[in-house]
Amino acid sequence: MLHSWKKLTALTDGKKFLISRVTIPEDEIQIEGNFQLPPLAELSMDDQIFTAAFIKTHGSIKQMEAIFGISYPTVKNRLNSIGNKLDIVDVAVDIKAPISNILDKLEQGEIDVQEALKELE
């Protein structure tokens, strides 16, 4: 199956395309019309593989670095690039998680270690 997708993406050269027939051989069903690909399928094969690896590693950037032989910033940049291509849902991402806020306050001297530990509980 992967081989046929590689041929298809090479043939379309990154251009958007529609599927005009869907066949379910085991049920002998054929549906004709114009069907748009799901957003993940519209990614390049490289981006699909990268996304699948990210999911299989449960989002471990360290493992992604090792698998692809790239740096942390490169993994983040690649994920941001893929995320920008996927307009599935509009999600506002809060970059500062609560733990980060606590660590920031600790680093800036706003709280001491004991207060940080209490807040982390």
29-65: per-residue pLDDT in tens?
Answer: 999 999 888 888 888 889 999 999 999 999 999 999 9
Task: Give me the pLDDT at residue 56, please.
Answer: 97
- Classified as helix, coil or strand, 32 is strand
Rounded to an integer, the average pLDDT of 61-74 is 94
Tokens 């090792």 appear where? Answer: 66
Q: Which residues are registered as beta bridge partners of 23?
A: 30
96 contact partners, CB below 8 Å, separation of at least 6: 104
Q: What is the per-residue pLDDT across 1-17, written as a single tens digit (0 to 9) for each?
A: 556 656 766 777 777 78
